[in-house]
């Protein structure tokens, strides 16, 4: 998703009220930090390397934070953008980079199986490629299960959830026009599925996968995290007035790091408890909008996130399990993805997030963005 601001078009302004928030914020740096957290967690898990401070890092998981920020930004983008442009922008943000990393994943598989494997298993590669670049990112052909960790790019399951959320946003806005608490209600339902689903749907329905394993690829399970982002951006003016108090969330956050467990207080990994999650995103909002702005002229967060698992798999194929090499190759390829693929595609976007005017900033009216 792109964070570049722009004024809403007349069509957008006429059809629904616009949302804005501070242009100078640190969301881009934070998204890069979230991606690095995921890289370090997976490198430790799959390469057997030791990452100093990993136990602390696990209490600040990247995926839940990504979902929150997506809810925050994507809802604002839709409200400020005509429908067709919203979908065009989402396509330009995700699809070029997704195609690029899928080609990279194919190279990893061919490095393990030999280049003639493409000819002998052509239909497998084509089916996998189509799945990876649509809504089948979790599809994992048996032919690839001897490559690296057994999944070419397992991190892409979150893109399935993201894309489905993008499709849900127009429906959410439509529902809100008829019931103002629609997002809150649906978020509560989603949390119920998230909290109770693993216990309710335990039986295997396909091979060794339970019904909840499939639900967990959708916003039905994770939508409450996106919903928290939507509620935050809808009420950003109130958050902005209280931004200096958000660091107070750090103390109870630390307490829950030590004792928190379960769907309400869990403090590590992607399955955070709701109380811990609220405290966590309070700190995220403070870091984004309550600390000095540091400009970042490039965005490596998406590339870092989607490329790190192909890199890890390649190093396993080559028998080179090295964390420094993972970081070097991941950041290098992420930079290539940004400058050669993502940024050129983003230049075609129509901006959808409006910056605050100086007058709005002075009187404390609605929010800020970048």
C-alpha–C-alpha distance, residues 260 and 300, integer Å: 32
pLDDT of 287 above 90:
yes
Q: What is the mean pLDDT of residues 346-354?
A: 72
Burial class for 116, CB neighbours closer than 10 Å (0-12, 13-18, 19+): exposed
User: Does 222 map to a domain?
Assistant: yes
296-323: buried (b, 16+ CB within 10 Å) or exposed (e) per residue? beebbbbbbbbbbbbbbbbbbbeeeeeb
Q: Please report the pLDDT score of residue 55 as a whole number.
A: 87
Read off the pLDDT band of 16 (50, 70, 90). low
User: Does 3 map to a domain?
Assistant: no
Q: What is the mean pLDDT of residues 132-160?
A: 96
- pLDDT mean across residues, the chain: 90
User: Does 82 map to a domain?
Assistant: yes
The owner of tokens 């050129």 is 344
User: Does 309 map to a domain?
Assistant: yes
Q: What is the pTM of this model?
A: 0.90
User: Does 1 map to a domain?
Assistant: no
pLDDT more than 90, % of the chain: 81
User: Does 193 map to a domain?
Assistant: yes
pLDDT of 370 above 60:
no
Q: Please report the pLDDT score of residue 352 as a whole number.
A: 55
Structural domain range at position 106: 10-360
Q: What is the mean pLDDT of residues 134-155?
A: 96
In the 8-state DSSP scheme, what is residue 210? Answer: E
User: Does 343 map to a domain?
Assistant: yes
Higher pLDDT, 72 or 53: 72
Q: Please report the pLDDT score of residue 82 as a whole number.
A: 76
**Residue 354, strand partner residues:** 20
Specify the number of domains making up the chain: 1
User: Does 206 map to a domain?
Assistant: yes
Read off the pLDDT band of 14 (50, 70, 90). very low
Q: DSSP alpha helices (H): ranges in the chain?
A: 10-15, 27-47, 54-57, 62-79, 83-113, 117-120, 122-132, 157-178, 182-200, 211-215, 219-234, 236-241, 250-259, 262-265, 274-289, 301-317, 323-336, 343-346, 358-363
C-alpha–C-alpha distance, residues 60 and 45, integer Å: 16
- Structure tokens of 269? 């990994």
Read off the pLDDT band of 52 (50, 70, 90). confident
pLDDT more than 70, % of the chain: 90
Q: Please report the pLDDT score of residue 174 as a whole number.
A: 95
Tally the residues of the chain: 370
- Mind listing the pLDDT tens digit for each residue in 294-343? 999 999 999 999 999 999 999 999 999 999 999 999 999 999 999 999 99
Read off the pLDDT band of 17 (50, 70, 90). low
């Amino acid at each position: 998703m792109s964070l570049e601001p722009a004024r809403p078009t007349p069509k957008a302004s006429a059809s629904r009220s616009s949302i804005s928030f501070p242009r100078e914020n640190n969301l881009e740096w934070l998204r890069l930090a979230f991606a690095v957290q995921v890289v370090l967690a997976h490198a430790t898990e799959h390469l057997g390397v030791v990452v100093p401070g990993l136990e602390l890092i696990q209490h600040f998981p990247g995926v839940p934070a990504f979902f929150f920020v997506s809810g925050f930004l994507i809802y604002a983008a839709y409200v400020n953008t005509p429908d067709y442009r919203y979908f065009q922008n989402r396509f330009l943000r995700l699809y070029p980079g997704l195609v690029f990393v899928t080609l990279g994943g194919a190279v990893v598989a061919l490095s393990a199986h030999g280049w003639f494997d493409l000819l002998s298993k052509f239909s497998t590669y084509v089916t996998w490629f189509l799945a990876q670049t649509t809504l089948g990112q979790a599809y994992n052909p048996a032919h690839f299960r001897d490559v690296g960790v057994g999944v070419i790019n397992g991190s892409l399951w979150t893109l399935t959830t993201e894309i489905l959320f993008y499709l849900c946003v127009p429906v959410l806005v439509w529902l809100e026009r008829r019931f103002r608490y629609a997002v809150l209600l649906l978020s509560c339902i989603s949390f119920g599925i998230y909290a109770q689903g693993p216990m309710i749907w335990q039986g295997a329905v396909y091979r060794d996968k339970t019904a909840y394993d499939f639900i967990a690829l959708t916003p039905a399970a994770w939508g409450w995290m996106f919903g928290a982002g939507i509620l935050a951006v809808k009420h950003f003016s109130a958050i902005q007035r209280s931004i200096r108090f958000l660091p107070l969330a750090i103390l109870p956050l630390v307490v829950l790091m030590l004792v928190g467990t379960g769907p309400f207080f869990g403090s590590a990994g992607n399955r955070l408890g709701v109380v811990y999650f609220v405290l966590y995103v309070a700190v995220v909002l403070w870091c984004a909008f309550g600390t000095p702005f540091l400009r970042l002229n490039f965005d490596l967060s998406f590339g870092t996130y989607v490329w790190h698992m192909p890199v890890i798999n390649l190093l396993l194929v080559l028998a080179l399990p090295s964390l420094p090499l993972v970081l070097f190759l991941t950041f290098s390829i992420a930079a290539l993805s940004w400058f050669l693929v993502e940024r050129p595609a983003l230049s075609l976007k129509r901006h959808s997030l409006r910056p605050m005017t100086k007058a709005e900033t002075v009187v404390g009216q609605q929010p800020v963005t970048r």
